[in-house]
Amino acid sequence: MDPATAKLIGAGLACTGLIGAGIGVGTIFGNYLNGALRNPSAADSQRIWMFVGAAMTELLGLLAFVVAMIILQ
Amino acid sequence: MHQFELTKKVPLELFGYDVSFTNSSLWMLIAVVAASAFLIMSMRGRSLVPTRFQSMAEVIYEFMAKTVRDVCGPEGMKYFPFVFTIFIFVFFANVLGIIPGSFTTTSHISVTFALALTVFVFVTLVGFKTQGVGYLKMFVPEGVPLLLLPLIVVIEVISYFMRPVSLSVRLFANMLAGHILLKVFAGFVIGLGLVGGWAPLAFMVGFTGFELGIAMLQAFIFALLTCIYLNDALHSHH
Amino acid sequence: MIAAIVAAAATHAAPQSSGMPQFNPAFYPSQIFWLAISFVVLYLLMSRVALPRIGEVIEERRDRIQRDIDSAEKAKRETEKALAGYEKALADARGRASGMAKETRDKLTAEVDAEKSRVDAQVQAKIAEAETRITATKTKAMASIGEIASDIAGAVVGKLTGSDATPDEVKKALLQVSSK
C-alpha cells in the first residue's frame, strides 16, 4: 500500500475515537437534564460537575482528533 | 493550514532564542488591550445603576467570583485575580479568533500548554504553601488496600502530571477542530460555486454561532478546572 | 453534488506537505515569550485596576441596598411602636371610661338603696303605730261589746222571765255560752 494512502486511512481510523466521546458527552448532558427535571432544586449545585465531566469526556475524543491531525501532518 | 501560519512581523532575538513579534503575538496583545479596555473603560462611570457595558463587566465578574467561591470556598477568593485573568485571556483569545482574518492564539499548542503549565506551577506552589509537605498526601488516597497502594500512588502521580497536558490539549483541539471545520466548509463554498455554495455557507453561519458558544464554554472550563485544581491545593482531603 | 463536495474537499482540505505550524518548534520561544508578556501585563491590569474597581462598585451597591433595607426596617419598627402606643392609650381610655361608669352606677345604686330603706323604715313605723292603734281600739271595742251584750242579755232575760237577773249572773252565763 502506498504510505500516503495508509496515512489517510490511519487518520480516519483515529477519528473513530470521537464516536465514544460523542456518546459520552451526550450521556452526561442527557443524564444531567434527566436529574435536573426530577429534582430542579438540586440542579444548580451540580451544574459545575456536569461541565467537569463533559470536559473530561470530551478530552478523550479530542485526543483522538489530535492524533489524527498528527498523522495527517 | 494558512490560518494557523505564523508570520514574523518584527524579527527579534533574545539570549539566542528567536522571539520575533509574530501575528500571534499581535493578537495576544490585542486580546490584552481589548480585555483591559472592556473591563476598565466600562467601569469608568462607577455608577450605582450600571450602564450596559458596566453591567456586562459586572456579570462576568460576579459569574467568575461565584464559580471560585462555590468550588474553592471563601479562602479561594485570594487567588481570584489569577483565575479571572486566565478566564478573560482565554475568553478574548478564543472570541477574537472567530473574526475572519484574525489569528486564534489558543489554537497553538505552545500557547495553551504554556498557559496550562502556568496554572500547574501556580497550583502546585499554592498547594505546598498552604499544606506544606502534607500536600503530597493527595497522592495517597485513604481506604486503599496496602497491596494496591503503590499502584494507586503511581496512577495518582501520573494523573497529576497529566493535568497540564489535558488542560492544554482540550483547549487547543477544540479551537483547532472548529477552525478546521470552518475552513473545510469554506472550501466547499468555493468548490460548489455560486449554484451550490449557499448550503455550506448557511451551515458556516450557524456553525460560527456554535463556535462562539464553544469559545466561551472552553474559556469557562479552563477557568473551572483551574478552580478545581486550586481547591485540591487549598483543602486537604483528609 | 456529492462528487463536487468530494472534489472540493480534496482540493481545499487535503493536508499541505508543509505540515501543521502548531508542531513547528521554531516558533515556540516566540509564542511563549509573548504569551508571558501579555499574561503578566493582563494580570497586573486586572489585579491592580479592573477587579478592585468592579468589586468596589458591587460592594458599594450591596452596602447601599443593605442600608436602604435597614432604614426601611427601622421605619417599620417605629411605626409599629407608635401603633402599639396608640392602641395602649385607646385601651386605657376605654378602661377608665368603663371604671367611671361602674363607679357612678354603684354610687347611684347605693343612694337609691339607702333612700329606699329609709322610706321603708318610716312606712314600717307608721304601720306599726297604726296597728297598735287598731289593736287598742279593738280591745276597747271588744270590752264594750261584752258590756253591751250583758246589758242586752240582762234586758232580754228581764223581759222574758220577768225577774231581773243580776249583771254578774248574766256575765257568767255569757262567758259560758261564748266559750262553747
Decide if B179 touches C, using CB distance below 8 A: no
Burial of C20 (0-12, 13-18, 19+ CB in 10 A): buried
Percent of chain C residues topping a pLDDT of 70: 88
Decide if A69 and C20 are in contact by the 8 Å CB cutoff: yes
CA–CA separation, B211 vs B203, rounded Å?
12
Is the pLDDT at C110 greater than 90, yes or no?
yes
Of the candidates C115, A56, C167, C172, the residue with the CA atom closest to the CA atom of residue B162: A56
Which of residues B154 and C1 earns the better pLDDT score? B154
Is the pLDDT at B136 greater than 60, yes or no?
yes
What's the mean per-residue pLDDT of chain C? 83
B43 interaction partners in chain C (CB closer than 8 Å): 50, 53-54, 57
Lowest mean pLDDT among A50-54, B83-87, B118-122, C19-23: C19-23
Structure letter (DSSP) for residue A1: -
No. of helices (H) and no. of strands (E), chain C: 4, 0
Nearest residue in chain B measured CA to CA from C61: B48
Q: Which three cell numbers, joined as nine digits, stand for B117?
A: 503549565
Tally the domains of chain A.
Answer: 1
Q: In this structure, what are the phi and psi dihedrals at residue B141, rounded to the nearest 5 degrees?
A: -70, 150
CB atoms within 10 A of CB C64: 11
Q: What is the pLDDT of residue A72?
A: 81
A70 interaction partners in chain C (CB closer than 8 Å): 23
Decide if C112 touches B, using CB distance below 8 A: no
Decide if A19 touches B, using CB distance below 8 A: no
Q: What is the pLDDT of residue B194?
A: 81
Burial of C6 (0-12, 13-18, 19+ CB in 10 A): exposed
Decide if B173 and A62 are in contact by the 8 Å CB cutoff: yes
Lowest mean pLDDT among B94-98, B219-223, C11-15, C148-152: C11-15
Q: What is the pLDDT of residue B56?
A: 84
Decide if B46 touches C, using CB distance below 8 A: yes
Nearest residue in chain A measured CA to CA from C14: A72
Decide if B192 and C5 are in contact by the 8 Å CB cutoff: yes
Decide if A52 touches B, using CB distance below 8 A: yes
pLDDT band at C118 (very low <50, low <70, confident <90, very high): very high
Structure letter (DSSP) for residue B41: I
Which of B39, B53, B82 should we substitute to test contact with C (largest number of C Cβ atoms within 10 Å)?
Answer: B39
Nearest residue in chain A measured CA to CA from C18: A73
CA–CA separation, B47 vs B63, rounded Å?
20
Each residue of C80-98: pLDDT tens digit? 999 999 999 999 999 999 9
Nearest residue in chain C measured CA to CA from B197: C5
Q: What is the pLDDT of residue B195?
A: 81
Each residue of B2-49: pLDDT tens digit? 777 777 777 777 777 777 788 888 888 898 998 888 888 877 777 777
Question: What mean pLDDT do residues A47-55 have?
Answer: 86
Domain containing A9 — which CATH number?
A: 1.20.20.10
Nearest residue in chain A measured CA to CA from C16: A73
pLDDT band at C159 (very low <50, low <70, confident <90, very high): confident
C147 by DSSP, 3-state: which?
Answer: helix
CA–CA separation, C146 vs C69, rounded Å?
113
Yes or no: say if B152 and A41 are a contact pair by the CB < 8 Å rule. no
Question: What mean pLDDT do residues C42-50 have?
Answer: 86
Each residue of C11-42: pLDDT tens digit? 554 444 457 777 777 778 888 888 888 989 99
Identify the chains in contact with B, defined as 3+ C-beta pairs within 8 A.
Answer: A, C
pLDDT band at C104 (very low <50, low <70, confident <90, very high): very high
Domain that holds residue B94: 2-234
pLDDT band at C132 (very low <50, low <70, confident <90, very high): very high
pLDDT band at B90 (very low <50, low <70, confident <90, very high): very high
Q: What is the pLDDT of residue C16?
A: 45
CA–CA separation, C69 vs C65, rounded Å?
6
Is the pLDDT at A71 greater than 80, yes or no?
yes
Tally the domains of chain B.
Answer: 1
Decide if A58 and B177 are in contact by the 8 Å CB cutoff: no
Which of residues C88 and C155 earns the better pLDDT score? C88
Q: Number of C-alpha atoms within 13 angstroms, CB side, residue B204?
A: 20
Q: What is the pLDDT of residue C14?
A: 46
Q: Which three cell numbers, joined as nine digits, stand for B36?
A: 483591559
